[in-house]
């Protein structure tokens, strides 16, 4: 870009020049490369979420999912007790609901009552393995 906001086409690489390092790849190799690069991009975001989440953030997520403050507090307490804080409380509720074939709301209420934490632990243990 120039000082006046105009594009300086003399320094722009053409599409053909930019794709040279990819031209020899098959569709399958391009697909694999895409997901490798996506993982590199997303992993720092996931890591930040694991390291910097707090019970207040997790309760806030659950409130936005339709749970009351008291329900959210009980779910977050269970998430902490089961070592799943880095997975995210909303994520835990969603994955357990998916596994059990229940609604998000039903699942969250069960978790708040102390039920189905074995399912959550198993699901996220499989992911970590």
Spatial CA neighbour of 60 closest among 45, 47, 75: 75
The pLDDT of residue 1 is 52
DSSP for residue 21: G
- Spatial distance between the Cα atoms of 51 and 21, rounded to a whole number of angstroms: 36
> In whole numbers, what is the pLDDT of the chain averaged over residues?
89
Model-wide pTM > 0.75 = no
58 pLDDT more than 70: yes
Q: Check if the beta carbon of residue 58 is closer than 8 Å to that of residue 90.
A: yes
More confident: 6 or 113: 113
At residue 33 the predicted structure's pLDDT band, cuts being 50, 70 and 90, is very high
Q: Check if the beta carbon of residue 81 is closer than 8 Å to that of residue 97.
A: no
The pLDDT of residue 53 is 85
- Mean pLDDT, to the nearest integer, of 115-121? 96
Domain architecture of the chain: domains with CATH:
1-52 (no CATH), 54-128 (1.10.8.1000)
The pLDDT of residue 129 is 40
Q: Check if the beta carbon of residue 62 is closer than 8 Å to that of residue 75.
A: yes
Residue 74's CB: how many other CB atoms inside 10 A? 19
């Amino acid at each position: 870009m120039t000082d006046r906001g105009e594009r300086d086409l003399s320094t722009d690489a053409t599409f053909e020049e930019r794709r040279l390092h990819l031209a020899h790849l098959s569709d399958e190799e391009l697909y694999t490369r895409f997901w490798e690069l996506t993982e590199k991009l997303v992993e720092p975001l996931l890591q930040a979420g694991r390291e910097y989440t707090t019970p207040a953030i997790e309760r806030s997520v659950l409130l936005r999912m339709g749970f009351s403050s008291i329900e959210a507090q009980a779910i977050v307490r269970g998430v902490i007790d089961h070592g799943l804080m880095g997975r995210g409380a909303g994520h835990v509720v969603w994955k357990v609901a998916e596994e059990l074939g229940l609604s998000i709301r039903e699942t969250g209420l069960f978790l708040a009552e102390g039920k189905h934490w074995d399912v959550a632990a198993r699901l996220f243990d499989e992911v970590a393995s």
